[in-house]
């Protein structure tokens, strides 16, 4: 009898403690959600507003906070696509891809080769060379701009797309090399040894054994380089001077400069949305690679 009441007492106390903790957990959760939601709205609203505003009339853009247009109007897109120049956005997109695609391909190939050399072989001066590789990641690129411009001028290659991707033939962006090195280090060397016994040489070990395993890293490099080259502005600004060769970023700048007088704001906004579409599509189709890529490469340094 006595035993039983004691037991009940304990049970009751535990129950009280449990409920208190459960209540605090719920409050904690609610606070987290509240902060996250308000933050997410602030973060995303400008982009949502941009998309909405691209359908609005010019007067409505500056008179309403709401992103929903009163009337959906596609004329800004039609006008934006035609642009004010003799070329349509199709030309500017084509120009963009003329250097973005080579850039991505060269980056992947050269970074994989360099990463393979550093992660699987021993060679003279490996340590200092690796240290140099890492330190180029921290080198402010701005200090190289002027001599590189003069270099391409001497070769008569200004106003071509070559200066925008040539350095990537030589794995110039150490960030990507490092990303793949980190990934390769995680693959057991026994795999290579076994392949060697089976008669693979060093190159076939790379193509047949390692490449299939490092595919996620390659996808990460591809999409990061794609995004960053789509965003590159200073490069084309310096090197491309003929309108027919303008990429999207410079075309947009030109439209912005031209519009400052005649208030066709919705056209500019529609053009901005068009300029963002490839990046948004790539982001959503390859989301998980972004997060994985940035956390492995950034962290393990």
Partner 1 sequence: MENRRIGLLYILPWLIGLVIFTIYPFVTSLILSFTNYNIINAPQFIGIQNYVNMFHDSTFWTSFTATLEYVVITVPLKLIFSLFIAFILNYKLKGINFYRTAYYIPSILGGNIAIAVLWKFVFANTGLVNQVLGVFGIKPVGWFSTGLGAIFTISALRVWEFGSTMVIFLAGLKDIPQELYEAAAVDGAGKIKTFFKVTIPLLTPIIFFNLVMQLIQAFQEFNGPYMITQGGPLYKTYLLPMMIYDNSFKFFNMGYGSAISWFLFIIIMIFTMFVFSSSKYWVFYSDEGGGES
Instruction: Tell me how crowded residue 109 is: count the other CB atoms within 10 A of its CB.
Output: 14
* Angle at alpha carbon of residue 157, lines to 156 and 161, rounded to 5°: 170
DSSP E strand boundaries for 166-277: none
Residue among 17 and 39 whose Cβ is closer to partner 1: 39
CA dist 45 and 69 (Å) reads 15
Residue among 7 and 33 whose Cβ is closer to partner 1: 33
CA dist 163 and 148 (Å) reads 8
Residue among 12 and 48 whose Cβ is closer to partner 1: 48
Shortest reach from residue 72's CB to partner 1, in Å: 19
Shortest reach from residue 78's CB to partner 1, in Å: 18
Shortest reach from residue 49's CB to partner 1, in Å: 6
Residue among 81 and 283 whose Cβ is closer to partner 1: 283
Shortest reach from residue 143's CB to partner 1, in Å: 4
Shortest reach from residue 98's CB to partner 1, in Å: 18
CA dist 275 and 270 (Å) reads 9
> CB of 77 within 8 A of CB of 54?
yes
End-to-end CA distance of the chain: 65
Locate 7 and state its tokens: 């037991």
CA dist 274 and 231 (Å) reads 13
Shortest reach from residue 10's CB to partner 1, in Å: 21
Integer Rg of the chain from CA: 27
Q: Which of 135, 147, 145, 228 is nearest to 174 (CA)?
A: 135
Residue 229, judged by CB atoms within 10 A of its CB (0-12, 13-18, 19+), counts as: buried
Residue among 218 and 252 whose Cβ is closer to partner 1: 252
Residue among 91 and 248 whose Cβ is closer to partner 1: 248
Residue among 88 and 167 whose Cβ is closer to partner 1: 167
> CB of 120 within 8 A of CB of 189?
yes
Residue among 12 and 211 whose Cβ is closer to partner 1: 211
> CB of 57 within 8 A of CB of 251?
no
Shortest reach from residue 148's CB to partner 1, in Å: 5
């Amino acid at each position: 009898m006595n035993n039983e009441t004691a037991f009940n007492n304990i049970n009751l106390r535990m129950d009280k403690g449990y409920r208190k903790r459960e209540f605090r957990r719920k409050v904690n959760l609610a606070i987290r959600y509240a902060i996250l939601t308000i933050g997410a709205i602030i973060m995303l609203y400008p982009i949502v507003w941009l998309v909405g505003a691209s359908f609005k009339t010019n007067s409505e853009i500056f008179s309403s906070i709401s992103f929903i247009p009163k009337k959906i109007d596609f004329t800004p897109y039609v006008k934006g696509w035609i642009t004010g120049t003799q070329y349509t956005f199709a030309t500017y997109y084509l120009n963009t891809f003329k250097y973005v695609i080579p850039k991505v391909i060269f980056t992947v190939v050269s970074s994989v080769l360099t990463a393979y050399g550093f992660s699987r072989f021993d060679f003279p001066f490996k340590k200092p060379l690796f240290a140099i590789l890492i330190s180029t990641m921290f080198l402010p690129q701005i200090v190289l701009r002027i001599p590189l411009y003069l270099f391409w001028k001497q070769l008569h290659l200004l106003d071509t797309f070559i200066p925008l991707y040539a350095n990537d033939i030589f794995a110039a962006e150490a960030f990507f090399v490092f990303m793949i090195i980190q990934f390769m280090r995680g693959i057991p060397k026994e795999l290579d040894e076994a392949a060697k016994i089976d008669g693979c040489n060093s190159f076939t070990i790379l193509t047949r054994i390692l490449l299939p395993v490092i595919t996620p890293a390659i996808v990460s490099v591809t999409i990061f380089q794609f995004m960053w080259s789509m965003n590159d502005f200073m490069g084309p600004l310096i090197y491309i001077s003929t309108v027919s060769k303008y990429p999207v970023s410079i075309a947009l700048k030109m439209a912005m400069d031209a519009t400052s007088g005649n208030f066709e704001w919705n056209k500019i906004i529609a053009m901005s949305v068009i300029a963002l579409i490839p990046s948004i599509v790539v982001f959503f189709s390859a989301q998980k690679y972004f997060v994985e890529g940035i956390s492995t490469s950034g962290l393990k340094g």
